[in-house]
Amino acid sequence: MTPYELYCFGESGNAYKVALFLELSGIPWTARFVDFFNGETRKPEYRSDVNEMGEAPVLVIGDRKMSQSGAILHHLGKVHPKFGPASESEEEEALRWMFFDNHKFTSYIATLRFMISITKTGETPVTEFLRGRAINSLKTVDAHLARRPFMLGERMTIADFSLCGYLFYGDELPFDLKAHAHVVAWLDRIKSMHGWKHPYDLMPRKSAS
Ligand SMILES: N[C@@H](CCC(=O)N[C@@H](CS)C(=O)NCC(=O)O)C(=O)O
């Protein structure tokens, strides 16, 4: 089997969702570094040759290039069922959480972290708004995890990979994760899985090259 190639970079929690799935599944893959901070995703050739949406991650699957971490996870979960949904209703439940993740969880958390910890805007009305939305979404996931070890029940699935993507960045997270005890316990469960790696140990970064 040709190893998958993943367009990614260390700071991308969206790419990490896919990288971690491949790693914990024991599937061979190679990283293709995306020079996001020097504008690679905004270049016309990236849009024409890699992803018209101008984003990472992109997974190369044979002669196909697939973007959107949720769509990629959904695809991988079907082809490599270890972390895939086990039934149609599980698939729908996974998609339900992955849409929530893309709209209200990762979107706010990632943008807030980008502003505070990467571009260092300082606190603004925008960060205040984002933090409020991020914390509300964290509370939703925390309440759900109070009653089950993983998002869909007893085992880790694509929904967990989607939601956990940005939560392993430690001090870069501009809120107190410890206030969400069930989320912290869930992250510890994921961390204890064989093959788990921190995003910066799994994907290349400009500063490390
Ligand atoms: N919903 C997308 C979000 C992807 C995304 O926002 N990727 C960021 C890096 S983490 C990106 O490439 N942004 C480029 C841009 O917005 O210009 C996914 O889950 O794959």
Q: How far apart are CA 20 and CA 180, in angstroms?
A: 22
Q: Nearest residue CA, atom 6 of ligand 1? A: 55
Q: Nearest residue CA, atom 12 of ligand 1? A: 55
CB of 51 shorter than 6 A to ligand 1: no
DSSP structure string for 171-202: GGSSS-GGG-HHHHHHHHHHHTSTT---HHHH
Q: Tens of pLDDT along 112-160? A: 999 999 999 999 999 999 999 999 999 999 999 999 999 999 999 999 9
Look-up of token digits 């899985």: 193
Side-by-side strand order, sheet with 64-67: 29-33, 4-8, 58-61, 64-67
CB of 69 shorter than 6 A to ligand 1: yes
CB of 199 shorter than 6 A to ligand 1: no
Tokens representing 65 are: 């290039």
Q: Tens of pLDDT along 23-42? A: 999 999 999 999 999 999 99
DSSP 78: H
Mean pLDDT of 93-107: 98
Q: What is the separation, in whole angstroms, between the first and last Cα of the chain?
A: 28
CA of 14 to the centre of ligand 1 (A): 7
| pLDDT the model gives residue 209 | 44
| pLDDT the model gives residue 89 | 98
Q: How far apart are CA 65 and CA 62, in angstroms?
A: 8
Is pLDDT of 208 > 70? no
| pLDDT the model gives residue 1 | 61
CA of 140 to the centre of ligand 1 (A): 23
Is the CB of residue 69 less than 8 Å from the CB of residue 17? yes
Read off φ and ψ for residue 196, nearest 5 degrees: -60, 140
CB of 55 shorter than 6 A to ligand 1: yes
